[in-house]
């Protein structure tokens, strides 16, 4: 019985080891997969491309597409495939690929196994850039109509240029669409050649400011003009801007002010608090300047410094408060420059000059007090607004 069990165990162990050895042998000899075929094929194509053997390039390309590309694998990325076709002068195949390059085709690249990392893409592009004049001449001399010639030139320039050429490319694309309004390449031109960014709807700014203010009415008889410091946050939506500002001014009394237990003497320090929310609308905006008139609501509170009122609470009696309605204009000078038209300057630093006329409405308890306040502030800050693609 023991001998029988030993035989069975030996047989099982032999079978397991045999399967392990078989799998290991399969792994070590695994060279006929599509992944290996694609990798080696791309390397062979690159070697022949660098040797200027375009017939062999064409042959390898066709073999890989016919034998390796399927619903699970892709052989070439679109840019690689198109550049190869430019070099092999297969313009009709290239035109067909461009005209059918839609969202479905793009999605298929994300659901299939991609080619391994190699130098094919970078070498194709580098050599195409170096030989751009030659390829452009070949396209122009090919037996093609004007529409096909132009779309091939547009696509080649798109593949071989960087951001510095995009403004020119956008201009050429617009001309193409105007010249051939019914072209089958319209969708491709609009989505894959024209490229323009615009500012997103929402943005925000931060500003730190100081300046000078002037009173009117009886306020000018009671207080000196004030010098403020303050901060502001803006919430921006399209051309509308909501300014949330906290203005703190410093001035002095110009006469004695009596209160219940004493006199707040002439020349005493006072403070001006001016919180406000105002809504502006951009009426002019370019790369350097921006103008935005505004109208809002806030409050003006003129009072002794906090340290004095904490020591003598009765000093609150000399404080005055009023609702205000600010109206005025922001004038922004933008820092930096816009590199290209297709990519606008939406985030930037700025210098802001703001004029505001603050209309005050004092309650009846402040009998004999009237007047408004003008101020001009100069601030520095920054705008943050993202970009999105327009087309």
Contact 94, 86 (CB under 8 A): yes
Task: State the pLDDT confidence band at 15, using cuts at 50, 70 and 90.
Answer: low
Task: State the pLDDT confidence band at 34, using cuts at 50, 70 and 90.
Answer: confident
State the pLDDT at residue 5. Answer: 62
State the pLDDT at residue 363. Answer: 86
State the pLDDT at residue 18. Answer: 53
Query: What's the whole-number mean pLDDT along residues 151-176?
Result: 94
State the pLDDT at residue 336. Answer: 86
Neighbours of 204 (CB within 10 A): 14
What are the pLDDT digits (tens) for 284-323?
A: 998 899 999 999 999 999 999 988 888 888 888 889 999 9
Single out the residue of 77, 140, 134 nearest to residue 110, CA to CA: 77
- Work out the end-to-end distance of the chain between its first and last CA atoms, rounded to an integer number of angstroms: 82
Mean pLDDT of the chain: 90
State the pLDDT at residue 183. Answer: 95
Contacts of 348 (CB under 8 A, 6+ apart): 334, 335, 336, 382, 383
Q: Is the pLDDT of residue 31 over 70?
A: no
Beta bridge partner(s), residue 202: 237
Pair type for strands 373-389 and 348-362: antiparallel
Task: State the pLDDT confidence band at 334, using cuts at 50, 70 and 90.
Answer: very high
Q: Is the pLDDT of residue 11 over 80?
A: no
Contact 391, 190 (CB under 8 A): yes
What are the DSSP calls for 190-217, one per residue?
A: HHHT---EEEEEEEEEEEEEEEEEEE-T
34-50 vs 78-88: helix crossing angle, rounded to 10: 40
Query: What's the whole-number mean pLDDT along residues 123-148?
Result: 95
The helix/strand/coil state of 119 is coil
**Phi-psi label, residue 97: left if phi above 0, alpha if psi -120 to 50, beta otherwise:** alpha
State the pLDDT at residue 231. Answer: 97
State the pLDDT at residue 14. Answer: 56
The structure's pTM equals: 0.73
């Amino acid at each position: 019985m023991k001998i029988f069990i030993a035989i069975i165990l030996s047989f099982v162990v032999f079978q397991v080891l045999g399967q392990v050895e078989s799998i290991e042998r399969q792994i070590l000899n695994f060279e006929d997969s599509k992944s290996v075929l694609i990798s080696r094929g791309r390397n062979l194509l690159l070697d022949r491309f660098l040797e200027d053997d375009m017939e062999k390039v064409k042959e390898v390309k066709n073999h890989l597409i016919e034998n390796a590309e399927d619903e699970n694998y892709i052989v070439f990325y679109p840019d690689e495939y198109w550049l190869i076709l430019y070099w092999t002068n297969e313009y009709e195949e290239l035109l067909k690929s461009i005209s059918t390059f839609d969202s479905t085709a793009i999605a298929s690249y994300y659901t299939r196994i991609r080619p391994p990392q190699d130098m094919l893409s970078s070498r194709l592009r580098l050599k195409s850039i170096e030989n751009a004049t030659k390829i452009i001449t070949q396209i122009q001399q090919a037996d093609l109509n004007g529409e096909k010639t132009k779309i091939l030139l547009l696509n080649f320039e798109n593949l071989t240029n960087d951001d510095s050429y995009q403004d020119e490319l956008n201009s050429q694309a617009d001309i193409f669409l105007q010249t051939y309004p019914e072209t089958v390449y319209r969708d491709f031109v609009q989505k894959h050649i024209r490229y323009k960014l615009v500012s997103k709807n929402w943005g925000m700014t931060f500003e730190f400011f100081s300046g000078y203010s002037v009173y009117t009415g009886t306020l000018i008889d009671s207080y000196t003009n004030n010098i403020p410091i303050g901060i502001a946050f803006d919430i921006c939506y399209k051309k509308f801007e909501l300014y949330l500002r906290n203005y703190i001014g410093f001035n002095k009394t110009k006469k004695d002010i009596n209160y219940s237990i004493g006199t707040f003497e002439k020349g005493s320090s006072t403070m001006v608090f001016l919180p406000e929310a105002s809504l502006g609308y951009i009426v002019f905006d370019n790369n350097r300047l921006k103008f935005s008139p505004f109208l809002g609501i806030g409050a003006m509170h003129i009072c002794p410094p906090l340290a004095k009122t904490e020591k003598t609470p009765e000093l609150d009696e000399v404080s005055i408060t009023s609702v205000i309605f600010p109206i005025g204009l922001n004038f922004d000078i933008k820092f930096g420059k816009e590199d290209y038209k297709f990519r606008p300057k939406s985030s930037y630093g700025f210098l802001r000059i703001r004029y505001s006329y603050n209309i005050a409405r004092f309650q009846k308890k402040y009998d004999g007090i009237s007047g408004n306040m003008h101020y001009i502030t100069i601030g520095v800050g920054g705008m943050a607004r993202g970009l999105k693609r327009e087309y």
